[in-house]
Structure 1
Amino acid sequence: MLGWLIKKSPLYEQVKQFNAVALPALTTPARQCNYLAIDLEMTGLHARQDHIVSIGWVPIVKQQIELNQAKHFLIKPPVSVGQSAVYHGVHDKDLKNASELSDVLQQLLTDYPGYLFLAHHCRLDRAFLQLAFQRQYGKAPRMQFIDTLNIEWHRMQKQGTVMKKDALRLPQCLQRYNLPISAQHHALEDAYSCALLYLTQLKKSHPDITLGDILQQSS
């Protein structure tokens, strides 16, 4: 038991250091915050039994997408990707030189404290990340997610728009704003698309919209 505590302690400290960096106050103008659009591809939809096979992220700083800091990692899962390759296009043969999940998680902790995380339909991405951190570090960091799908639902409801089937899927949201549509189920491309969508949602929002307003729309 003592050996486990000694082994986990340095990792636990990294989570504490991440959490020690305060997020912007709710009254902060949303356009002044830093964001990290992130997307995961997995072997399935159940965080406790399925595995992450790729992670992509794109930072947004001062309303600018920082493409030079965008990252895409293939992650070698402990089992075969199986039939899930049909959806995300990542096969076992592609993962021979894949990154260790622990290294990618550490980079998130090191590089993005104080950032707000963006995802389209964030529930799955958040669940997989939280469980991965718990398994690797013994504790999940406090990651504040903003869901561009929920923001879009809020906007359409406010406008009285009749929502057709699949109207809130990422490609349909992009098409609605005449934004470029890239290949689906590629972690980096989906993260970039999420970043584009969010910046467009911000642009079309009230000039004084705050982080608190955005979080309310996102919930």
Structure 2
Amino acid sequence: MVTDYIAVDLEMTGLNPNRDRILEIGAVKVLGGEVKDTFSHLVNPKIPVSETVVKLTGISNEMAGLARDIDEVMQEFLAFAGEFTWVGHNVIYDYGFVKQWAVNHNIPLEKRAVDTLKIARKCLVFPEKKSLDSLCMFYHIEREERHRAYMDALAAHRLYEILKKEFYEGEKELFLPRELQYHGKKQTKATLSQKNYLKELSEYHKITIDIPIEELTRSEASRLADKIIRQHGKIPDALRHRNGNFHP
């Protein structure tokens, strides 16, 4: 039975670790079943936060813009987490974003975790939905804010302790830490030709790119160029050849 662990939750700009960014990291350090330390930091994703995410989390673009860089926050978080087992609700989702960051920075990272979602799906008939929101309502777990990383990490800790008391004796296998598996491919920065092409598209179509081009990965730059072309069209070849510029 895991009694010492880190309960973890992240908020992100979207669902895909390959193209979305971490927005907030929250965690609680639990020793002997009691919270002994906490971690809570916003992250500047350096891309716009969608209205959907703003409404869901309450994290505005202004708040995100004032936050620290992901590299600083992530290094502090990994130091905070140390070698502890993770606990989280659908924890592989959060781990995927952390692992992708580690892959991008050539940092080895392997973690073991207990997933409260898997326990709930196996042990509970009700509520029908096994989301953290539904289970917090079912077990009367209070949260000052929903969909904020620290409060959700704290809720995951409280949920785990409740599930452990109710079901551990009959379902010990479910409470064993498992290796988390996420296989991410390293993301590299956009090439100079990609960045120049985006600038050309922006100038030709007289549009503003609200994402810092210097922060884009190669795949992000490619998707953005394709999106602009779909919406506004290509730069005529005659103009591109005249200027000595070519599509990367």
TM-score of the alignment, normalized to the shorter chain, above 0.5:
yes
Residue matched to 1:80 = 48
Aligned CA distance change for structure 1 residues 133 and 43 (closer, same or farther; 3 Å): same
Aligned residue runs from structure 1 range 161-172, under 5 A: 161=125, 164=128, 166=129, 168-172=130-134
* Distance in 2 separating the partners of 1:50 and 1:74: 15
Residue matched to 1:124 = 93
- Bigger Cα displacement from structure 2, 77-86 vs 175-184: 175-184
What are the superposed Cα offsets for residues 73-125 of structure 1, whole Å, 9 maximum, x if unpaired? 11001211132212221112113431221122212332322201111112321
Aligned residue runs from structure 1 range 149-164, under 5 A: 149-156=117-124, 161=125, 164=128
Aligned CA distance change for structure 1 residues 59 and 208 (closer, same or farther; 3 Å): farther
* Distance in 2 separating the partners of 1:123 and 1:51: 16
Residue matched to 2:167 = 205
* Distance in 2 separating the partners of 1:204 and 1:134: 38
Aligned CA distance change for structure 1 residues 190 and 163 (closer, same or farther; 3 Å): closer
Between the two proteins, what is the percent identity of the paired residues?
22
- Structure 1: any 5+ residue segments left out of the alignment? 1-28
Tell me which structure has the larger Cα radius of gyration: 2
Aligned CA distance change for structure 1 residues 78 and 202 (closer, same or farther; 3 Å): same
Counterpart residue identity of residue 117, structure 1: W
Residue matched to 1:144 = 112
TM-score (norm 2): 0.65
Alpha-carbon contact 2:8-2:91 (below 8 Å) kept: no
Residue matched to 1:41 = 11
Q: Within the alignment, does 1:176 sit opposite 2:138 as a pair?
A: yes
Ranges of 4+ aligned residues in structure 1 off by more than 6 Å: 216-219
* Distance in 2 separating the partners of 1:140 and 1:218: 14
* Count of residues paired in the alignment: 179
* Distance in 1 separating the partners of 2:42 and 2:27: 12
* Distance in 1 separating the partners of 2:143 and 2:8: 17
DSSP-derived class of the 1:50 partner: coil
What are the superposed Cα offsets for residues 55-77 of structure 1, whole Å, 9 maximum, x if unpaired? 111111111022xx212111001
TM-score (norm 1): 0.73
* Distance in 2 separating the partners of 1:85 and 1:213: 35
CA-atom RMSD in angstroms: 2.5
Residue matched to 1:111 = 80
Residue matched to 1:3 = none
Aligned CA distance change for structure 1 residues 173 and 93 (closer, same or farther; 3 Å): same
Q: 1:191 aligns with which of 128, 148, 153?
A: 153
What are the superposed Cα offsets for residues 163-219 of structure 1, whole Å, 9 maximum, x if unpaired? 52x2x0112212322322443211111111011101111122346986x55137999
